C-alpha cells in the first residue's frame, strides 16, 4: 500500500492507494470514523452496478448501517436541485452529526457528495472513494466541493476536507477509454506545472497500457504534488492557483459545448495548449513548450484546440474564481515543471486570445 498524509492542522487525513482496496473500505473507515453508526453512500448509475455492492458489503461487515443513493451519471447531476434531494434523503436515512457520508465515483459524485456533507447538519464527516483517474489524481484530494449553477461550473461550493481518501487502481480497468484519457489531462497538468521529470516520464509512456503498468506510481506522484500544494495553500489564495493551469480557457470550452460536447479533461487539455501559446506571446513561456504539450496531449487522444467564440471566452474569464475585479491571474509556464501566476486585466487576456 502507498500512503500519503495531507497534514492540515486539525484536519489531517490519509490517502491510501492499493489494489483491491474497495474490499477493505469498512476497516479503514472504522478507523477514522469511530463514532459513526451510519454511512450514507452516494454513487452514480455507472459506478453503482460495478462497485456499489462490494463497498456496501465491506462497510456493513465493519458494523456500519448503510444505504446506497444513486444519482444519474454525468455533469448534469451536479446541480442545486440534486443537492436538495440529497439533503432530504440523508435526513430520511436518519443521519446525525456523528455519522458520515461516502462518495463512490468520479468527480461529479465527489463534488456533490462533499458539498452535501459540508452543509447538511452544518457539516458531517465524509470519505472519498474515487473510481476515475481524474478523481483519483485531482478532485478527491484537497477539499474543494461544489455544484454548478446556470451561470457556470462550481460557482456554489465550500472547502470541506475528507476524513480519508481510498484509491483502488483496479477501478480504472472498467473506465471507457475516453474517460481514462480525460483523466490523463490532469495527470499531464501536474508535470507541466510542478515536475518536469514526471512530464518526461509521461512523454515516453504515451498509452493507457503503459500508464496502467505504472499506475500506483502515477497516482502517488500526482497526489503527492497536490498534497504539498494544498498543505501550503488550502484556501486557493496563492500557490494552489497553479493547479488551475489550463482551466480558465478550459471552462470556456466546456461552456461552448454546453457542458455536454467536451469533457472537463478534454477542455483542460485544449486550455493548457492555448495557455502555453499565450505564455509565449507574453514572453513568459519559452518557444517549443506549446509543441511539447500539444504532442503529449495528442498522444493520449486529447484535443489540442477547441473552437470557441469570443463571447464564451469572455463569459469564462469573467466568471473565473481566480479573478479580482477587472484583473485575472492567468497561470503560465516559465518552463515545463514551473508555473507562475501572471496578473492581467481581463480585457488584455481576451485581446491576446483573439490574436491566436
Q: For the chain, what is the HEC assignment?
A: CEEEEECCCCCCEEEEECCCHHHHHHHHHHHHCCCCCEEEEEEECCCHHHHHHHHHHHHHHCCCEEEEEEECCCHHHCCHHHHHHHHHHHHHCCCCCCCEEEEEECHHHHHHHHHHHHHHHHCCEEEEEECCHHHHHHHCCCCEEEEEECCEEEEEEEECCCCEEEECHHHHHHCCHHHHHHHHHHHHHHHHHHCHHHHHHHHCCCCHHHHHHCHHHHHHHHHHHHHHHHHHCCCCCCHHHHHHCCHHHHHHHHHHCCCCCCCHHHHHHHHHHHHHHHHHHCCCCCCCHHHHHHHHHHHCCCCCCCCCCHHHHHHHHHHCCCEECCEEEEEEEEECCEEEEEEEEHHHHHHHHHCC
pLDDT value at residue 237: 86
C-alpha span between 83 and 89 (Å, rounded): 10
pLDDT value at residue 343: 93
Query: In the chain, which stretches have pLDDT less than 50?
Result: none
pLDDT value at residue 259: 84
- Span 124-133, pLDDT tens digits: 999 999 999 9
Q: Which set of grid coordinates corresponds to residue 120?
A: 447538511
pLDDT value at residue 48: 98
CA 245 to chain centre: 13
Q: Which set of grid coordinates corresponds to residue 204?
A: 515516453
Residues paired with residue 335 on neighbouring β-strands, in sequence order: 338
pLDDT value at residue 320: 65
pLDDT value at residue 319: 73
pTM of the model: 0.94
pLDDT value at residue 321: 57
C-alpha span between 292 and 300 (Å, rounded): 13
pLDDT value at residue 317: 86
Cβ neighbours around 326 below 10 Å, total: 10
Q: Which set of grid coordinates corresponds to residue 115?
A: 458539498
Residues paired with residue 5 on neighbouring β-strands, in sequence order: 14
| Residue spans of beta strands (DSSP E) within the chain | 2-6, 13-17, 38-44, 65-71, 100-105, 125-130, 144-149, 152-159, 164-167, 323-324, 327-335, 338-345
Say if CB 160 and CB 118 are below 8 A apart: yes
C-alpha span between 245 and 228 (Å, rounded): 17
Nearest partner of 342 among 355, 352, 356, 327, judged by Cα: 327
Amino acid at each position: 500500500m502507498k500512503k500519503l498524509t495531507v497534514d492540515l492542522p486539525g484536519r489531517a487525513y490519509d490517502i491510501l492507494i492499493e489494489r483491491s482496496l474497495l474490499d477493505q473500505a469498512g476497516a479503514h473507515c472504522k478507523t477514522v470514523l469511530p463514532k459513526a453508526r451510519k454511512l450514507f453512500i452516494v454513487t452514480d448509475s455507472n459506478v453503482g452496478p460495478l462497485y456499489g455492492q462490494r463497498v456496501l458489503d465491506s462497510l456493513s461487515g465493519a458494523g456500519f448501517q448503510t444505504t446506497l443513493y444513486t444519482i444519474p451519471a454525468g455533469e448534469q447531476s451536479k446541480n442545486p436541485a440534486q443537492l436538495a434531494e440529497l439533503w432530504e434523503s440523508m435526513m430520511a436515512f436518519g443521519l446525525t452529526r456523528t455519522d458520515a457520508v461516502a462518495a463512490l465515483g468520479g468527480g461529479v459524485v465527489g463534488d456533490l457528495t462533499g458539498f452535501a456533507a459540508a452543509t447538511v447538519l452544518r457539516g458531517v464527516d465524509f470519505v472519498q472513494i474515487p473510481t476515475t483517474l481524474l478523481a483519483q489524481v485531482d478532485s478527491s484530494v484537497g477539499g474543494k466541493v461544489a455544484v454548478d449553477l446556470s451561470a457556470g461550473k462550481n460557482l456554489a461550493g465550500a472547502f470541506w476536507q475528507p476524513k480519508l481518501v481510498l484509491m483502488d487502481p483496479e477501478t480504472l480497468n472498467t473506465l471507457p477509454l475516453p474517460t481514462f484519457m480525460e483523466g490523463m489531462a490532469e495527470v499531464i497538468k501536474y508535470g507541466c506545472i510542478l515536475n518536469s521529470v514526471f512530464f518526461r516520464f509521461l512523454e515516453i509512456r504515451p498509452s493507457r497500457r503503459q500508464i496502467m503498468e505504472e499506475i500506483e506510481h502515477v497516482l502517488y506522484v500526482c497526489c503527492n504534488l497536490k498534497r504539498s500544494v494544498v498543505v501550503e495553500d488550502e484556501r486557493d489564495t496563492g500557490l494552489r492557483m497553479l493547479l488551475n493551469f489550463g482551466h480558465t480557457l478550459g471552462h470556456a470550452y466546456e461552456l461552448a459545448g454546453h457542458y455536454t460536447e467536451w469533457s472537463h479533461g478534454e477542455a483542460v487539455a485544449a486550455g493548457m495548449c492555448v495557455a502555453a501559446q499565450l505564455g509565449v506571446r507574453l514572453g513568459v513561456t519559452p518557444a517549443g513548450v506549446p509543441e511539447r504539450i500539444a504532442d503529449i496531449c495528442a498522444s493520449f487522444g486529447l484535443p489540442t484546440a477547441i473552437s470557441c467564440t469570443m463571447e464564451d471566452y469572455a463569459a469564462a474569464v469573467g466568471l473565473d474564481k481566480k479573478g479580482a475585479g477587472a484583473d485575472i491571474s492567468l497561470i503560465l509556464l516559465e518552463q515545463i515543471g514551473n508555473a507562475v501566476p501572471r496578473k492581467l486585466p481581463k480585457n488584455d487576456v481576451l485581446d491576446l486570445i483573439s490574436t491566436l
